[in-house]
Structure formats: structure tokens, C-alpha cells
Structure 1
């Protein structure tokens, strides 16, 4: 594989960057849809955006699994966090991002299965229609999916703010590592 595709200690490779920015676009779509729902309520735009929430969430779940597997394969090549308090906080922040990105769609899929309605995004059957509701499968998402999704948005905003701080105030190469040439 050409070196520009894989990570190095100086920058993230094209695969990592494509997964990162692709997921950023999908999250922007998801949060825009839910924001429009909160602002406009019942509206044709809301119906369209919310109608894409589950299929796009499924794409996000696939992307996080791919990104996690790719990240593990690149673990020793990646740009390291500095061995400072700020570096440890950055590592903890990234761990929180990954945990939330994995948990939120996982419980949503568990709820879909527990609903008994089946699930076939884009017409591809992923979960069978059983006609039986299983309360314990639906409960985790009912209790946490929405709240933790908004928490994820807050963590993403913090992530972006820290990148801006690195770029504007500290004038280091953190943004360039993920964005490519600036």
C-alpha cells in the first residue's frame, strides 16, 4: 500500500482522513436533522431528514467499526499524543468520542431488534421482523440514545474547539495532521 494511504508519526494517512471526514459529514447530517426536528417540529424538511436518521446511523455504525479496525491496524504508526497532561487529556477525549460513537448506534440497533418491527435500511434486511417486543432490548436506547447523542455533540464541539486552539493559539501541526496541507 502506498505510504500516503497509511498513517505515520507525522500525519494521518488518506484512509484515516477519509474515515474521519466522512464520519464528520454523516454526524453533521444526523445532528442537523435532529436540530431541524427540534426547531421546526412537524415539517416536510423534518420528515425527510428524520427519515434518513436510521439508515445514516447504520452507515455511521459501519464506519465506526471500520475506523476502529483501521485504527488498531495503524496504532504504532499514528502521530502520538504528547506525554504531557494535555496529551493525556487528548487521549481521554478521543477515548470518550470513540466510546460514545460506538455505544449510541449499538443501543439503537438493539432497540430496533427488540421492537420486533425488523430493520431494512435501503431495502437491505439487517434485522428480521419478529412481531415481538423485547423490553430489555429497547430500554437502554430509550433511556440513553438521545441524551448521549447530544452529549456526543458537546464532546465533538469540544474536539473542534481544541483543534482551533492548537491551530490558532498554539500554532502547531495538529490540524494539518488530519486535514492534509493547509
Structure 2
């Protein structure tokens, strides 16, 4: 269940791959919408954007807390500059997967509209629009989402470098 010095534990791996699948779905829908415009497919895909984003936010919070619990149990990183860059890259990914949906939730609250992901009432709505909240979401949610996509591509590239170039077992530790 817990991480150890040799591999990531089951909970870490399930959280990682569940978030990966949801992020592929979420960002795939955004990319499809940007490429294809409004079509029945992109509208259907887009209709799940808010509840899936909320789910990602909850998983990101759980994953961040789980990561802190396992901080001393994690497999060792590379030494030197490569290890420091890996830490910075992972911190950036954590920050983005928390910030992007958090900003969307702030925008949602500021809109005055209700928010009921999966039928669960989280925000009642009905109040007046709060301009700074909607502006924050309008200015930053999408842009940081694209930054997150670039960071994920970088993460994927580095996983492949670890596996095929350095052959250090990093990917195997996350696959299990």
C-alpha cells in the first residue's frame, strides 16, 4: 500500500494512473474542441468538463496529501542537477493540477451559478456575480490548462527517457 525505497505503492500508482486517464480525457476534449470547433462530439465531451475537472481536483488533493505521507518512503531520485530538475518538474505538475481546477471553482462560485457535479450540490448559486473571481478564471484557467498539457508532455518524454535511454527502472516503479 505505502511507497518504499524500491517502488511506488498501490495507492500512489492508482492515483497516478487514474489522474493520467482523466487528464488525457479532459485535455483531449479541450484539444478536440479547439481543433474541431462546436460539433455534437465536442459538445458532448465538453458537457463532462466541470465534473471531471472537479474529480481531478479532489484526486490531486488526495494525491498531494498521500505524497506528503510517503515523502520519506519514495524511491530515490537521481543525484545532482537531474534530481533537482525532477523535483521541480513534479512540483510544477502538482501545482498545476491543483491550480487549474481551483481557479475554475473560484470562477464558478463567482459566476453566481450553482455547481452540482454528478448531482451533488456543492455551490448553491443565486448570488450576484463577483467580477474578480470570474475574471481570474477567464484569464487563467484555460491558459494554465495549456501549460499543464505542455508539462504533461514533458513528463511523458522524461518517463520515456528514463525507460529507453537511461534504463533506470523509473517507469517500472510506477507501473508496478
Which range, TM-score by smaller chain?
A: over 0.9
CA distance in 1: counterparts of 2:45 and 2:121, whole angstroms:
21
CA distance in 1: counterparts of 2:35 and 2:116, whole angstroms:
28
2:86 alignment counterpart: 90
CA distance in 2: counterparts of 1:32 and 1:157, whole angstroms:
13
1:63 to 45, 59, 64: 59
Cα deviation, residue 72, structure 1: 0.9
Matches within 5 A, 1:142-181: 142-180=138-176
**Are 2:9 and 1:13 aligned?**
yes
| Structure 1 portions without partners, runs of 5+ | none
1:73 alignment counterpart: 69
**Are 2:100 and 1:104 aligned?**
yes
CA distance in 1: counterparts of 2:8 and 2:137, whole angstroms:
33
2:32 to 21, 30, 36: 36
2:50 to 54, 59, 74: 54
Q: Deviation per CA, 1:128-166: give whole Å up to 9, x if none.
A: 112410011112111111111011110110011011011
- Where 2:161 maps in the other structure, the secondary structure is helix
CA distance in 2: counterparts of 1:118 and 1:136, whole angstroms:
18
1 or 2 for the larger relative contact order (CA 8 Å, sep ≥6)? 2
| Structure 2 portions without partners, runs of 5+ | none
1:137 alignment counterpart: 133
Identify the range of structure 1 (154-163 vs 79-88) with the bigger mean alpha-carbon deviation. Answer: 79-88
CA distance in 1: counterparts of 2:18 and 2:140, whole angstroms:
25
What's the Cα RMSD here?
A: 0.8
TM-score norm. by structure 1 comes to 0.94
- Where 1:178 maps in the other structure, the secondary structure is helix
TM-score norm. by structure 2 comes to 0.97
**Are 2:23 and 1:27 aligned?**
yes
